[in-house]
Amino acid sequence: MDLLKQSNNSGGRPDRRGITLVELLVASGIALTILVAVGLVYFTSNKSFKFGQATLSSGADLRLAMDWLGRDIRKAEGITKVVSGDTVTVTLQMPSSVASYDVVYVLDDEKNLKRNDGASVRTVATDIATFEVTTTDDTVALTLSSVKTVLGDQYQRSLTSRVTMRNAK
């Protein structure tokens, strides 16, 4: 197939239609450059989205766990902490007027923080790196931190809180 068609027009010059190889190469180069730029924007946006999603999820887990802990500690009359290897167990002694059971929080070997209220066991946070509980009189200081790895980057988030036990003896 001949890309260059010649015909005589009124001026006596041949009429050329089609594209040359140089024009085709230039157009291909421009198209390739645009595709690479779009691909880079897509992959950068995707990485940013996944990182943001993981940080929001981590923060939500920590806030949920801190809410549960705060609510239970306010009701408690006493607290006991036991550390055995990587497992941290915090037992909140509940007054009989509030509940007929003690609430137990366990940070297990798999870095899940679980709440056992006597009737059910619920995972309130995952990927917990540290679970620290210190008490002074009727005040409890809590620190929760989590570490997540997203696309090769590590993200660490920590929350701290001070809670007063209203029923402390």
135-160 pLDDT tens trace:
888 899 999 998 888 778 788 889 99
Report residue 53 as tokens: 């999603």
**114, 105 Cβ separation under 8 angstroms:** yes
Q: Are 95 and 77 in contact (CB under 8 A)?
A: yes
Question: 159 — phi, psi (to 5°)?
Answer: -130, 140
Domain residue extents for the chain: 38-78+124-164
Distance separating alpha carbons of residues 163 and 73, to the nearest angstrom = 7
What pLDDT is stored for residue 67 in this prediction?
93
Question: Comparing C-alpha atoms, which of 64, 110, 67, 103 is closest to residue 87?
Answer: 110
SS3 115: strand
Instruction: Judge contact between 110 and 96, C-beta under 8 A.
Output: no
- How much is the pLDDT for 57? 81
Q: Classify 17 as helix, strand or coil.
A: coil
pLDDT at 50 over 50: yes
> Position of tokens 């940070």?
107
- Of 3-17, 40-54, 119-133, which gets the smallest average pLDDT? 3-17
| Least confident window among 52-61, 74-83, 120-129 | 52-61
Structure tokens at 30: 């421009």
Distance CA 55, CA 149 (A): 10
Q: Tell me the whole-structure pTM to 2 decimals.
A: 0.69
pLDDT of residue 69: 93
Residue 55 — φ and ψ, nearest 5°? -70, -40
Q: Which of 50-59, 108-117, 122-131, 135-144 has the lowest mean pLDDT?
A: 50-59
> What tens digit of pLDDT does each residue of 88-101 get?
889 888 888 777 78
